[in-house]
Amino acid sequence: MRNILKILTCCLVLGLSGTNVYAGEGWGVYYPTTGERPRGNATAEYLAQFGAYYIGAENDKVLYLTFDAGYENGFTPDILDTLGKHNAPAAFFLVGYYIKKNPEIILRMVNEGHIVANHTMTHPDMSKIGDKNSFAKELTQAEEHFKNVTGKDMPKFYRPPKGIYSEANLKMAQDMGYATVFWSLAYKDWEEDNQPSKAEAFEKLVPRTHPGAVILLHNTSKTNALILDELLTRYADLGYRFESLHHLTGGATPAM
């Protein structure tokens, strides 16, 4: 199960631009030139009609930190320590089994003001699920584990596994009250046995940072745990501040 989840945890980082959304399309962004805001394979305006997001306001030097995980690799406590040091709220998009198996970490995330968000129960290709009940089951099972651990309702933020989505998926998530959240900045950090060096991580992350960036990292990454303090310090020195996804959506989803 661990090896399967390791494979499933990876996300698509690069993609083609466009506005049409087809079943099985993976979310991706590309960067026209250094310093410019990236373009997604669907526009922010298109996604907005489904209550979906990938980037924040262009004139606001704010960053949204998000982490994905399907299993725990021992680095999350250090990541949480660093987030606390910088007073930086984050959203953790977690698979249901992660929530079930790591109640202490989940409670710490919630108690320290972070969002624990929905990454489905089993991390399937959601674009292949056309039935509303089957789609809903993947989200509600994760919700149930969250409530069993915390006694609270799960915040209504959703990220499709591996960023694979369809227009029908966006609509079904919206009908369930969810904001679908993609990303505008990521790098290849999910392979446990092929972790990027510190220099490689900074080379990918810092030059591409932009106002309103929704940053995707994996809390299973050893590199991320090692660089996060310096990375957040550098971002602060560049004049950025950190906000939660509630700020990104303008409070359009239920509070924690």
Cα separation, 120 vs 97, in Å, equals 9
The torsion defined by the Cα of 239, 244, 245 and 248, in degrees rounded to 10, comes to: -40
Residue 229 C-beta-side C-alpha neighbours within 13 Å: 8
Catalytic residue (choose from 68, 114, 145, 246): 68
What b/e sequence results for 122-146 when a residue is b if at least 16 CB atoms lie within 10 Å of its CB, and e otherwise? bbbbbbebeeeeebbebbebbbebb
Active-site residue identified among 123, 210, 218, 246:
218
60 is catalytic: no
Tell me whether residue 210 is one of the annotated catalytic residues: no
Q: Could you tell me if 229 and 221 are in contact, meaning their C-beta atoms sit under 8 angstroms apart?
A: no
Q: Looking at the chain, list the stretches that DSSP marks H as alpha helix, in order from N- to C-terminal side.
A: 2-9, 44-48, 76-85, 96-101, 103-111, 132-150, 167-175, 198-205, 222-237, 245-249
Say how far apart CA 224 and CA 108 lie, in whole Å: 19
Closest by alpha carbon to 14, among 34, 33, 38? 38
List active site positions. 68, 218
